[in-house]
Amino acid sequence: MAKMQTKPSGSSAYDMLLDAIDCGDLAPGSRLREVEIADRFGISRTPVREALKRLEQQGLVTHEPHHGAVVTVLDYREIGELYLVREVMEGTAARLAALHATDVEINVLREMVDADRAFVDNPGQLMRRNKLFHRQIHLLARNRFLDDLLENMRVSLVLLAGTTLAIPNRGDQSLDEHQAIVDAIARRDPDQAEKAARVHINSAYRARIRLQAELES
């Protein structure tokens, strides 16, 4: 019996649009025309309309006069606000991970950092692996309310154009910072784990400012 084809839902259209924004195919400022998006993904306009509405509610899509829907562009102040909140939440996640992670889970973190060093000259791949590392720490925090907040923040982070890991030496520096976080978690030192995570996000913010200046020059 042939498998029944399911009609694409607003949720699947949302995931496809979010992925396109995240990987840079739809950069901040890109116009989002329903017909073009529907053609691009081979779906009808109804799920696209639903997806755009959801993205707008999350702040990822903005309606501009004479342009219609566009991928939201964060200004300098908004980027700073995003990283400030990220520093607090990532620091809290690392603190909780130091309290709750098992030895097996800590070894997984160590293995992730070791494996990631092979991709230091591949910013795109390292960026994807970086997200997995942070996601793993979020899971080790074992706090569903913090996890929800971090997930909402992750969605907002897709609006940051490019990756700071493409900046010379930033890949190595970032992995050294990851190692410091893991070492503090392994010592069951919540204060140092939080401090290391905050240092890491603060370094990422400084790199973001440099990258933003280059993109705007």
Is 50 exceeded by the pLDDT of residue 3?
A: no
Is 50 exceeded by the pLDDT of residue 13?
A: yes
| Averaged pLDDT of the chain | 92
CA–centroid distance for 10 within its chain: 22
Q: What pLDDT, on a 0 to 100 scale, did the predictor assign at position 212?
A: 84
What are the backbone angles phi and psi of residue 51, rounded to the nearest 5°?
A: -65, -45
Strand locations in the chain (E): 61-64, 68-71
pTM: 0.87
* CA dist., res. 105 & res. 133, Å (int): 12
* CA dist., res. 94 & res. 133, Å (int): 11
The model's confidence at residue 214, banded by pLDDT at 50, 70 and 90, is confident
Instruction: Pull the structure tokens for residue 186.
Output: 């392994």
CA dihedral of 97, 101, 103, 109, whole degrees rounded to 10: -50
Q: What pLDDT, on a 0 to 100 scale, did the predictor assign at position 9?
A: 55
Q: What pLDDT, on a 0 to 100 scale, did the predictor assign at position 5?
A: 39
Alpha-carbon distances of 187 from 14, 96, 115, 133, 173, rounded to whole Å: 41, 13, 21, 18, 21
Q: What pLDDT, on a 0 to 100 scale, did the predictor assign at position 64?
A: 84
Q: What pLDDT, on a 0 to 100 scale, did the predictor assign at position 56?
A: 94
pLDDT digits (tens, 9 = 90+) for 124-171: 999 999 999 999 999 999 999 999 999 999 999 999 988 999 999 999
pLDDT digits (tens, 9 = 90+) for 70-106: 999 999 999 999 999 999 999 999 999 999 999 999 9
Is 60 exceeded by the pLDDT of residue 59?
A: yes
Q: Do the Cβ atoms of 33 and 170 come closer than 8 Å?
A: no
Q: What is the mean pLDDT of residues 191-209?
A: 97
Alpha-carbon distances of 199 from 49, 84, 88, rounded to whole Å: 40, 12, 11
Closest CA relative to residue 90, chosen from 184, 27, 212: 184
What are the backbone angles phi and psi of residue 60, rounded to the nearest 5°?
A: -90, -15
- Side chain identity at residue 3, one-letter code: K
* CA dist., res. 130 & res. 107, Å (int): 17
The model's confidence at residue 217, banded by pLDDT at 50, 70 and 90, is low
Q: What are the DSSP calls for 9-39, one per residue?
A: PHHHHHHHHHHHHHTTSS-TT-B--HHHHHH
Is 90 exceeded by the pLDDT of residue 110?
A: yes
Instruction: Pull the structure tokens for residue 198.
Output: 């905050």
Q: What pLDDT, on a 0 to 100 scale, did the predictor assign at position 2?
A: 35
CA–centroid distance for 79 within its chain: 13
Q: What pLDDT, on a 0 to 100 scale, did the predictor assign at position 23?
A: 85
Closest CA relative to residue 212, chosen from 154, 163, 168, 174: 163
